[in-house]
Structure 1
Amino acid sequence: MDPIVLATVGADTEAHSHFASMDGMSGIIYVRDVEDDVIETLKQRAAEARMSLSAYAAQQLTLVARRPTNADVVRRARQYAAARRQSGALTPTTDEVVEAVRAERDRDTLGDSE
């Protein structure tokens, strides 16, 4: 297994200032113990996207890092529901949402078999 070098060691390092001045990158990440098949898949996908492996991996890491975690989504949903309740707006209960989803699925399933 080969390591993948993606991009700085730290903002105060000489390497950082060299890379930052070259292409605006803010850090280097070394990823060790990456399975060979994963590296090959990433190389193929990078080639298909007409990107270097480093640029493709950095893009994918950026997408993952910017995506909210499940805990973030749940917390935001609870905050939103609480704010709606405080403002007097009607917010469906969890049971009502589950019932509506099930009814929609049942309707879709019945519609498919007709």
Structure 2
Amino acid sequence: MSILTLQIKKEFLDKILSGEKVEEYREIRPKNSTKYIEYFTTKDGEEDVKPRPYKTIQFFNGYKGHRPEVIVKIKAAEIEYIIDENENFIEYEENGEIFLTAQMVYTLGKVISKKNI
């Protein structure tokens, strides 16, 4: 089973456990893009991206050994491109390259396991 591992603040971890938080958002940047997306070539020979096929997210709160940890099933994952009021993609520059502003949206399912809660 492929697991995405993420840090999360305690307040948001508690909201996931209570069922109040049902989506997790993560900004896609050049430094972290391979964690969230895969590149592929379409039938037309164009390069495109799709979400990495994770089945679960393992959320950690903190960095010490005895930290709260929750594993949650992923119902759906999609790449959401950020657009302006005229429905144009919002771009940004990093290291001389232009990128589209985007985020991952994970729809969370049931909690599979909890530790140190």
- TM-score per shorter chain, which class? under 0.3
Structure label with greater radius of gyration = 1
**Which has more strand, going by share of residues?**
2
- Structure scoring higher RCO (CA < 8 A, sep ≥ 6) equals 2
TM-score computed with the length of structure 1 as normaliser: 0.20
TM-score computed with the length of structure 2 as normaliser: 0.20
**Which has more helix, going by share of residues?**
1
